[in-house]
Structure 1
């Protein structure tokens, strides 16, 4: 599921980038078409007209989800425009620099053909080396002044630099977004969106160390949904999931802001309460019990009533994290045996 989510988000971002490339590049070439016509480079003006048509066609292909055809047209335009522009007004114009922009686009592109990227990158390198060898000393079709060529070269260097910077920023955002999503998936329960067992244990270990240093209280509440198996048996697992989501939301809203809540496993939840003594934990647990008891979970035209049993414990001296959790579990078991829907605390 993590891989599918990452691939889907990356793919969406990539095709969004292609939309921007087609629109902005098409508009830019309209401007260039008029500019080169005024400069007397009529051959290059015609080349830019062809570029406008290719980018317009690629934009339409993207709209119709003909993505591979659109990318092929964009690559054809960039490579073809570089070849024709350099041949039309000379190597010193700097239009060959735009081939470098294709490299990061190819690298971050999404394709189901494994060999596509390396083949295209090698082909691009060969085209660039071939242009350097063959076209560097060829006389251009349209002769421009040295000052105009120098201005074009510096302009093309600047635009290439800006495009590479922009593409690097796009890639950085993709990586940062993917890392954030993976971090959330690794630390939360996908159904309830609460912390998972491993992430809460990490927080608990930290709070135990902090407690030893500052000698503050630390409480644990272990809670279990009453008769959850009966809910699944009577209404189905979809109803059980609805109950878990509703209970999770209630626990999150009724707990203190500084508390950490995790789905401990199945229908069990663990609440870590830093700076809370046992009386405070009992008070919070009772509030949670009442809030859950008031829940009415709608499902397929019926309403499911829910209740929970709570076990409360506190951390003692230098014991490991598992010790208070085990005592909270024992207290929870006592509450189950003695009738459920109640709060039971460990003995002093």
Structure 2
């Protein structure tokens, strides 16, 4: 089934797409974190070589190779969960071994704090998993502190050196926490915007829904009190749409609705609004437009709809017409009253033969 206008995204894919966008952002964050970790461990190789702590030199060489492997694994969806688990385990092992080797005064156990946001930032995580992850990290952090008190470090360093290490690890931890929290905040704000858009959008056509346009009309009604703006309403109904649905199927009918919606949306000015009003009905709200302009717009929309062509599964070329009811939104009347008048005009247009623009009687 093909149409003369490219298909819109299916309605049921929109929530999935928005969820996937969150997952994609999380994956990009994880990849960026792996690159940063690889660079940090390269620096640690040089640092511990200068400090003559060969155990940590060897461990960080191993970590560099592990992160390089993890970056390769991130390219394959099936390997990503394993890759992230390996990165987690490396951070925990690095914090533990470095703390045992140099003592808690070196601050390497601070690295565990950077994992706390990751417990919550994954959109696929569960409450119990997050609680267990937080308890495990808390236990490891406290345990490393206690072990350092009870046992001397394997490689004692000068106090000044330990201070610089602690300050550096603290800065590293704060940078990681700040980055993660910033990404999480941005993702949350984007998710809120997506939810607001979903609540105001008809998922099939991508147009505003009835509730959204009604809310906008009420705002315009308040504005026109002081600005004396002219407003007009056009109600659009596709002719014989039920027969088209019954003959060619609902999937084809949905495609006709989606393509027609896109066509009307392109016809309007940025200041005008188009909404799916219900079923095969659409409502156009024109701002700064008198009745003559509204009639011109309605005729242009009617002609554009009639010019569309669609191809059915049987290879038959089809077109569809529309009947439109036009009225001015008068003075201080309720928006619903003008819509009702446009609906009366639309009914009269249907009665008079369809495929026409009918103007509401004064």
Give TM-score scaled by structure 2 length: 0.90
In the alignment, the residues of structure 2 paired with residue 112 and residue 302 of structure 1 have an alpha-carbon distance, to the nearest angstrom, of 49
1:290-309 CA-to-partner distances (Å, cap 9, x unmatched) read 12122223444332212111
Q: Which residue of 2 is the match for residue 161 of structure 1?
A: 174
Task: Name the counterpart of 1:334.
Answer: 348
Question: Which moves more between the two structures, 143-152 or 50-59?
Answer: 50-59
Residue 230 of structure 1 is matched in structure 2 by 243
1:35 aligned onto 2:47:
yes
Q: Is contact 1:194-1:248 (8 Å) kept?
A: yes
1:219 corresponding residue in structure 2: 232
Matched, 1:181 2:221: no
**How many Å separate the matches in 2 of 1:268 and 1:97?**
61
Pick from 30, 35, 40: which aligns with 1:23? 35
- Cα distance in 2 for partners of 1:282, 1:175 equals 44
In structure 1, the residue matched to 2:268 is 255
The one of the two structures with greater contact order (alpha-carbon pairs below 8 A, sep at least 6) is: 2
Secondary structure in structure 1 of the residue aligned to 2:74: helix
User: Counterparts of 1:1-348 in structure 2 under 5 Å?
Assistant: 4-64=16-76, 65-111=78-124, 114-136=127-149, 138-300=151-313, 301-348=315-362
1:253-303: CA deviation from partner (whole Å, max 9, x where unpaired): 222331110010111010011221111111111111112122223444332
TM superposition shift of 1:178? 1.1
Tell me, yes or no, if the aligned pair for 1:42 and 1:142 is still in contact at 8 Å. Answer: no
In structure 2, C-alpha distance between the alignment counterparts of 1:113 and 1:345, rounded to whole Å:
57
Gaps of 5+ in 1: none
Cα separation, 1, equivalents of 2:251 and 2:19: 28
- SS of the equivalent of 1:219 reads strand
Deviations 1:208-244 (A, max 9, x none): 1222332322110001011111221222222212211
Higher mean C-alpha deviation, range 295-304 or range 34-43: 295-304
SS of the equivalent of 1:66 reads helix
Give 1:111 shift. Answer: 4.5
- Runs (4 or more) in structure 1 with deviation over 6 Å come to none
Paired with 1:305 and 1:63, the residues of 2 have a C-alpha distance of: 46
Cα deviations by residue, 1:32-73 (Å, 9 ceiling, x for unpaired): 113211221112212212322433443344344233322322
Question: Equivalents in 2 of 1:60, 1:294: separation in Å?
Answer: 52
Provide the alpha-carbon RMSD of the alignment: 2.0
Q: Structure 1 residues 189 and 111 mapped into 2: Cα distance closer, same or farther (>3 Å)? A: closer
Report how far residue 137 of structure 1 moved.
5.9
Report the Cα distance in structure 2 between the residues aligned to 1:63 and 1:279, rounded to whole angstroms: 59
- 5+ unaligned residues in a row in structure 2: which ranges? 1-11
Pairwise CA distance, 1:331: 0.2
User: Cα distance 1:145–1:112, how it changes in 2: closer, same or farther (>3 A)?
Assistant: closer
TM-score (norm 1): 0.93
Classify 1:184/1:129 alpha carbon distance in 2 versus 1 (closer, same or farther; 3 Å).
same
Verify the 8 A CA contact 1:219 1:274 in the aligned structure 2. yes
Could you list the per-position Cα deviations for residues 123-151 of structure 1 after superposition, in whole angstroms to 9, with x for gaps in the alignment?
A: 11111112112214633222333332222
